Amino acid sequence: MNVQLGIQRFNPENDAKPYWQSFLITQVDPAERVLDLLKYVKAHVDGTLTFRHSCAHGVCGSDAMRINNLNRLACKTLVQALARPNTERVPIRVQPLLGLPVVKDLVVDMDPFYEHYRSIIPFLVNEQEAPGRERLQSPEERAIIDDGTKCILCACCTTSCPSFWANGRYVGPAAIVQAHRFIFDSRDTGAAERLAVLDRKTGVWRCRTVFNCTEACPRDIDVTRLIGEVKLAIAQGPRRAGRVR
Amino acid sequence: MCSFSVAWLEGLRYAGKQGQWSWVAHRVSGLLTVAFVTTHVLDSTLITFFPKLYKKTIQLFKHPLAAVIEIPLVGAVLYHAVNGLRIAVMDFRPAWWRHQRRSSQVVQVVFALLYVPMALKMGSGVLAGLRGKRS
Ligand code: FES
């Protein structure tokens, strides 16, 4: 199998704007991943190609990018998944995530994304004195926040959201997922503060129920459902909105 | 963040699924609905302030071209209403997210069932008007 790999390149030191560069890679194993192709280009064709990756197994979330016009992790996207039936040459186009400033080639500046993450107080808040051992939680209580705990902060969801493209001050789906994880945590007491942040103009109400985030999540989190539950928590209070609490 | 035009352009280029296209259609039909409602508000205001102009405007609306433009406008209002209900239901029942793709298809079917007969009736009205004029 051959791959025609198009990569959106941009070097702020030399380029006024991004441009496309194409590489023909032959004899590709269909089970190889887009990350393997990028590593091949960097090692054998153009050492200046810049992209992030770390674990290479869908755990760290550092190689999120736009592949064939969809946000995905390069390390979890197999070439065979992008191939059309009966085609020998697979066209693959790789771009940086949209909505965050491009630092170089496929690397975006994640600072604005992390700022939104920080704004929702992403840690356990509980002023009560800690018990001798851990704060206990029933399996049912844990199940409510289970989905949110799977998030790896790769930004696939936030940068697939039209509301975020249009207005970067919107906290975005990832921050809301993280907020949900603590708002509905039976051990946490900081829900009111987080809901106040998310009730602002830049909060959950900017979600237009487009579902791009749910479709983009490489961890199969029901992102739009979690956002919907936070909306209900603001409107009706976290206890009524939580399914079991 | 990127500019408004980039957001629109990328919205169209991004390979989103039914939800994204429903959103695009919702936006476009929303803009057309605003145009529809604004025109209606303006022309009814004329009755009070400029009754003569109102009569002229109504005459203008009877022009076959205005009647033809009305057909997609009614479609826009109808789609916006039906899809708006879907979004409201999704917001009140987040657990139904599982059916989101199918829900967009249901909206399309309901819209087609309501709109096609309506458009046919409006279209035949326009044709009848034209024929009447000619004879
Ligand atoms: S490299 Fe870690 S998630 Fe892809």
CATH number for the domain spanning A222: value is: 1.10.1060.10
CATH number for position A77: 3.10.20.30
Out of A57, A65, A78, A151, mutate this one to test ligand 1's pocket (max ligand atoms within 8 Å of CB): namely: A57
On whether residue B120 sits in a domain, the answer given is yes
B13-42 residues touching A, CB cutoff 8 A: 13-20, 22-23, 26
List pLDDT tens digits, range A147-199: 999 999 999 999 999 999 999 999 999 999 999 999 999 999 999 999 999 99
Give the pLDDT band of residue B126 (cuts 50, 70, 90).
confident
B27, pLDDT greater than 50 = yes
Q: Are residues A158 and A183 in the same domain?
A: yes
Give the pLDDT band of residue A215 (cuts 50, 70, 90).
very high
Selected for mutation to probe chain B from A68, A92, A171, A209 (highest B CB count within 10 Å) is A209
Q: Which two tokens stand for residue A70?
A: 């969809």
Out of A53, A65, A94, A107, mutate this one to test ligand 1's pocket (max ligand atoms within 8 Å of CB): namely: A53
Give the pLDDT band of residue B97 (cuts 50, 70, 90).
confident
Under 8 Å between Cβ of A65 and A97: yes
- What domain range is B30 assigned to? 25-130
Model pLDDT, residue A242: 54
A20: three-class secondary structure by DSSP: strand
Under 8 Å between Cβ of A159 and A97: yes
On whether residue B12 sits in a domain, the answer given is no
Q: How far apart are CA A206 and CA A166, in angstroms?
A: 10
Q: Are residues A47 and A129 in the same domain?
A: no
On whether residue B2 sits in a domain, the answer given is no
Give the pLDDT band of residue A38 (cuts 50, 70, 90).
very high
Q: Are residues A28 and A115 in the same domain?
A: no
Mean pLDDT lowest among A107-111, A136-140, B6-10, B20-24: B6-10
Which carries the bigger pLDDT value, residue B67 or residue A240?
B67
CATH number for position B83: 1.20.1300.10
A243, pLDDT greater than 80 = no
Domain end position, chosen among A107, A142, A163: A107
Cβ of A62 closer than 6 Å to ligand 1, yes or no, is: yes
Model pLDDT, residue B127: 85
Domain count within chain A: 2
| Span A28-34, average pLDDT | 96
Across the interface, whether the CB atoms of B20 and A162 are under 8 A apart is answered yes
Q: How far is the CA of A75 from the centre of ligand 1 (A)?
A: 6
List pLDDT tens digits, range A119-136: 999 999 999 998 888 899
Burial class (CB in 10 A: 0-12, 13-18, 19+), B66: middle
Please calculate the CA angle A155-A161-A165 and round it to the nearest 5 degrees. 95
Q: Are residues A197 and A146 in the same domain?
A: yes
On whether residue B65 sits in a domain, the answer given is yes
A245, pLDDT greater than 60 = no
Q: Which atom of ligand 1 sits closest to the CA of residue A54? A: 1
Q: Are residues A102 and A159 in the same domain?
A: no
Prediction ipTM score: 0.82
Under 8 Å between Cβ of A93 and A71: no
Q: How far is the CA of A85 from the centre of ligand 1 (A)?
A: 28
pTM: 0.89
On whether residue B74 sits in a domain, the answer given is yes
On whether residue B46 sits in a domain, the answer given is yes
Please calculate the CA angle A142-A220-A217 and round it to the nearest 5 degrees. 120
B135 and chain A: CB distance < 8 Å anywhere? no
Which carries the bigger pLDDT value, residue B50 or residue A222?
A222
On whether residue B37 sits in a domain, the answer given is yes
Which carries the bigger pLDDT value, residue B94 or residue A238?
B94
A104: three-class secondary structure by DSSP: strand
Domain count within chain B: 1
Q: Are residues A36 and A81 in the same domain?
A: yes
Domain end position, chosen among A42, A74, A107: A107
List pLDDT tens digits, range B68-83: 898 999 999 999 999 9
Q: Are residues A98 and A121 in the same domain?
A: no
| Span A6-32, average pLDDT | 96
Across the interface, whether the CB atoms of A167 and B1 are under 8 A apart is answered yes
Q: Are residues A86 and A177 in the same domain?
A: no
Give the pLDDT band of residue B36 (cuts 50, 70, 90).
confident
The distance from CA B61 to its chain's CA centroid, rounded to whole angstroms, is: 18
Q: Are residues A84 and A153 in the same domain?
A: no
Burial class (CB in 10 A: 0-12, 13-18, 19+), A141: middle
Chain B environment of A68 (Cβ under 8 Å)? 15
Under 8 Å between Cβ of A158 and A99: yes
B135, pLDDT greater than 70 = no
Average pLDDT of every residue of chain A = 94
| Span B55-67, average pLDDT | 85
A85, pLDDT greater than 90 = no
Closest in A98, A162, A222 to B23, CB measured: A162
Q: Are residues A134 and A239 in the same domain?
A: yes
Model pLDDT, residue A244: 37
Model pLDDT, residue A156: 98
Q: Are residues A158 and A63 in the same domain?
A: no
Model pLDDT, residue A239: 65
On whether residue B60 sits in a domain, the answer given is yes
Domain end position, chosen among A107, A129, A145: A107
- What domain range is A235 assigned to? 110-243
Model pLDDT, residue B3: 64
B111, pLDDT greater than 50 = yes
Q: Are residues A114 and A84 in the same domain?
A: no
A204, pLDDT greater than 70 = yes
